[in-house]
Amino acid sequence: MESPQSRRQFLKEFPVRFSAAAAAGLYLSEGLVFGENQPGSTAKGNLQKTTEPILPESHVLDETWPSLAPPLYPEPCQITGVAIAKDGTILALNHGENHSDPALGYLKNLIRKPAVLVIDPKSGKLLRSWGSNLFILPHHISVDAAGNVWVVDGALKSVFKFDGNGVKLMEIKGVDVGFQMPTDVAFFKDGSFLVTDGSITKRALRFDAEGTLLGEWGEKGEGLAQFHTPHSIAIDDSEMVYIADRENRWVQVLNAEGDLKATWRRLGRPSCVRFHSGSIWVLSNFNAAKGIVRRFNLKGELLEAFHTKPAASKRDFEWPHGLAVTEGGNTVYVGFILTSRQVVRYRRKQN
């Protein structure tokens, strides 16, 4: 775990570094603002204000599913990404011994311990692991339609493709395509894919299935069709693209050519967006211990939501970052990266 000194430093700097995010948390049930979701809408289109309904918690923490404490590790590890493998197992991407802190940065060494943990969805126990000495700052993990596993690493400025057993099939290096800090990857039906490059160049890059760069779109800014921190990306069945911009606190909806179609605002700080069973799922955090998962339809209408820290819970649920959805949305996994360093499972309430 981090030293008391580093923890005190983080808490000292937290109100300044994330004051805007904390303020956003005060408006959890205030109105969301959605862009026009009509064919031909543009970046300068009118914005429509709607009121976010106050909904009951849709999912509850599954206390029977154990928190992640694999015997491979002497202590829980920071979980930055969660995905569902083709065989149904849970993939948890982690920082191993390379603990990172929002206030103090991260180590520059390769992670010696396996960065990808394969977890039994029934018991929550570690089945196997892979990815030793490959990553420095792995950020998100995704699985394509063929079952290949993709990992982006911001420190290495690279995107990796593996088979289901962890054998490396492809690496796209920043030196070749100009990555600065890639954050996530999502896939089109033809095997081409988009990568968000999040903290410096503020853009999305499209590659063909073989990893050849086809083009890019987006620019730095805080306006519509611009990016501040494109932190996560998803693509739906109609190949519309959803980009979660953490610092702009919105999700922008674009077509495959990068034309803006809608902007969903006031989402806190969205850290992960995923498409599952016809819905868009967005994980946001407002401060270290305050997170929420929302499910939207493709028009941006809120369908259900739940907090990542259950009411009155005394457990540690700091900084939700990774999100995976399965079983038609009945089961949701969230990974936490700060002090809690765990994967937890939430189940939809039964009527």
Identify the pLDDT of residue 303: 97
Phi/psi for 279 (5° steps) reads: -125, 160
Answer yes or no: is pLDDT of 71 > 80: no
Give me the percent of the chain exceeding a pLDDT of 70: 82
CA–CA separation, 198 and 183 (whole Å):
6
CATH number of domain containing 327: 2.120.10.30
Per the structure, the count of domains in the chain is: 1
Cross-strand bridge partners of residue 304: 295
Phi/psi for 86 (5° steps) reads: -60, -30
CA–CA separation, 337 and 318 (whole Å):
7
Token reading at 238: 């109609």
Its domain, for residue 131, covers 4-348
Answer yes or no: is pLDDT of 3 > 80: no
Cβ atoms of 257 and 246 closer than 8 Å: no
For 26, the 3-state DSSP assignment is helix
CA–CA separation, 298 and 181 (whole Å):
28
For 324-342, write each residue's pLDDT tens digit: 999 999 999 999 998 889 9
CA–CA separation, 137 and 225 (whole Å):
28
Instruction: Quote the pTM value.
Output: 0.85
For 251, half-sphere exposure in the C-beta direction (CA atoms, 13 angstrom radius) is 32
How many CB atoms are located within 10 Å of the residue 315 CB? 12
Please give the single-letter amino acid code of residue 163.
D
How many CB atoms are located within 10 Å of the residue 33 CB? 17
List the alpha helices (DSSP H) in 164-273.
174-177
Identify the pLDDT of residue 53: 57
For 85-101, write each residue's pLDDT tens digit: 999 999 999 999 888 87
* Residue 74 CB contacts under 8 Å (≥ 6 apart), including other chains: none
Cβ atoms of 58 and 89 closer than 8 Å: no
CA–CA separation, 268 and 308 (whole Å):
14
End-to-end CA, the chain:
40
Higher confidence at residue 109 or residue 2? Answer: 109
Nearest to 149 by CA among 136, 135, 327: 135
Nearest to 116 by CA among 137, 144, 96: 96
| Length reported for the chain | 351
Q: β-pairing, 116-119 with 90-94? A: antiparallel
104 confidence band (pLDDT: 50, 70, 90): confident
Answer yes or no: is pLDDT of 351 > 80: no
Please tell me the least confidently modeled range out of 122-126, 148-152, 294-298.
Answer: 122-126
Q: β-pairing, 302-307 with 90-94? A: unpaired
What DSSP state is assigned to residue 31?
Answer: -
For 14-56, write each residue's pLDDT tens digit: 333 333 332 333 233 333 433 333 333 333 333 444 345 568 9
Please give the single-letter amino acid code of residue 16.
V
CA–CA separation, 307 and 108 (whole Å):
33
Identify the pLDDT of residue 287: 82
User: Which residue is it, tokens 């009945």?
Assistant: 330
Q: Which stretches does DSSP call E strand in 236-278?
A: 241-245, 250-254, 260-264, 269-276
State the maximum Cα–Cα separation within the chain, in Å, rounded to a whole number: 55
